[in-house]
A and B are shown apart, each in its own frame.
Chain A
Amino acid sequence: MGLKIAFYILSLVLLGSAIYAIQAKSVIRSAFSLIICFLSVAGIFITLSAEFLAIIQVMVYIGAVAVLIIMTVMMTKQNEAGNKSNKLKIPAIIGALCVAALGCYTALTSKFSGTTSPIGTETDVLGVTLFDQSGYVLLVIIAALIILTAIVGAITVAREK
């Protein structure tokens, strides 16, 4: 019961802040609304008993991505330019409604073969799955290389000549 109430409140905040982030008049307001959106996604992760991912979500998305977006908004003078939309507005609405309708139809009519009573995943299960003998150590190293390449590339592209 408590889980259900938490899920409904979090989904309302999530969808509302996402719509405001798309529709806000100024770009800096949508960047701050994006922070609320990320926070409620972290709450949704907690209702799915993924506490580690919720913490990572707050650290990576709010601590890095949102701050980066806000800094870029300030550096590119977007605040006075306003949030204009292009000529694709009505086709975009139709396309998004088609995706949402297709998704709802698929989710409501498919037979999911999993359990109906949810099983939680503890954080130690996640750690053992990542780092044991037949685990994903190579993928962790590749992820570190991706981050390193991204940092070097970002410095190279954004540097003052």
Chain B
Amino acid sequence: MTLEYYIILAFLLFAIGLYGAFSRRSAIMIFISIEIMLNAVNISLVAFSKFSAIATAYGHIFTIFSMVVAAAEVTIGLAIVLAIFRHFEDIDTNDINLLK
């Protein structure tokens, strides 16, 4: 197994998440796509850490903080989705145009 396999896997997963984030209308589906993209980035970080020349754990530390920020992001985001649902009775992103 070389580094290229993992990088290609991460790019394919990122592309799937990108397609979902662009093409879905429900806010929760956009969140699911963003989580898939974050996981792709984590895979590439851990792969670069494993295949580096010296045995360090810097990529793992990057991944841990990326997970922390992802957890915070999904907490705040789903709370905002709940607040929007209380206000509009819907979370379809095409119908929410309060700032237009």
B residues neighboring A (CB under 8 Å): 1-20, 22-26, 28-29, 31-33, 35-36, 39, 42-43, 46-58, 60-61, 63-65, 67-76, 78-83, 85-86, 91-94
Instruction: Decide: A65 near B47, CB < 8 A? Known: A86-B23, A91-B22.
Output: no
Asked if A69 contacts B74 (CB within 8 A), the reply is yes
Chain B residues with Cβ below 8 Å from A30 are 29, 32
Chain A residues with Cβ below 8 Å from B53 are 113-115
The 10 A-B pairs of least Cβ separation, nearest first, read: A103-B11, A92-B22, A150-B72, A96-B19, A22-B20, A100-B15, A158-B79, A154-B79, A107-B7, A92-B23
Chain B residues with Cβ below 8 Å from A15 are 9, 12-13, 16
Interface size class of A (residues with CB under 8 A): 35 or more
Bound-state CA distance A110–B61 (Å) is 25
Chain B residues with Cβ below 8 Å from A102 are 11
Give the residue name and chain of the B residue nearest to A108 (CB).
B4
- Min CB–CB distance A112 → chain B (angstroms): 5
